[in-house]
Structure 1
């Protein structure tokens, strides 16, 4: 199942975010959940990070919530609010994640 993880940063955490980035990035590749797409949420002018958006594949919500709780950005106080939502792609979406996932799986074989 796909899960959208929407994370909003606390105030004045740019330095902590930068210090924890490598550890956070390594966790994205840890295998606990399967990352599909992820990146920074940025201010309207693109000038600075305001959070993160992570789309993952995992068996259940508990796995995703445990993953988030143990992420360095959560532990070190970068994220002030995290929302986990089940996600189902629309058949009318102009970009199809399902197609991308199949291509990625075939490439990784």
Structure 2
């Protein structure tokens, strides 16, 4: 089953993101092929990260929420909000 996670950073926490990025990337890589897409959302300048968007497979909604809760960014206090919900691929790209 596919899920999206949309995480929004707390304002003024860019350094937390930068400091925690290596651990976050290792966490994502450990998901293996079940992680379909991942990347930061940005400010209007298209450079400054302000959140994260993930598309991934998991067994069910509770498992998906539990996995996202383990993200080092969350443990570091980066996120202001986190939304995890089922997602259905309909058009584009080969997921």
TM-score by length of 2: 0.91
Correspondence 1:5 to 2:2: no
Q: 1:81 to 1:69 in 2, by over 3 A?
A: same
Q: Could you tell me which residue of structure 1 aligns to residue 94 of structure 2? A: 97
Q: Could you tell me which residue of structure 2 aligns to residue 65 of structure 1? A: 65
Which runs of 5 or more structure 2 residues have no equivalent in the other structure? none
Quote the offset at 1:97 in angstroms: 2.8
Deviation digits for residues 39-58 of structure 1, max 9, x if unmatched? 00001121311100000011
C-alpha distance in 2 between matches for 1:67 and 1:59? 11
Runs of 4+ deviating beyond 4 Å: none
Secondary structure of the 1:27 match is helix
Secondary structure of the 1:65 match is helix
C-alpha distance in 2 between matches for 1:31 and 1:40? 17
TM-score by length of 1: 0.80
Please tell me whether Structure 1 or Structure 2 has the larger radius of gyration of its CA atoms: 1
Choose between structure 1 and 2 for higher RCO, CA contacts under 8 A separated by at least 6 residues.
2
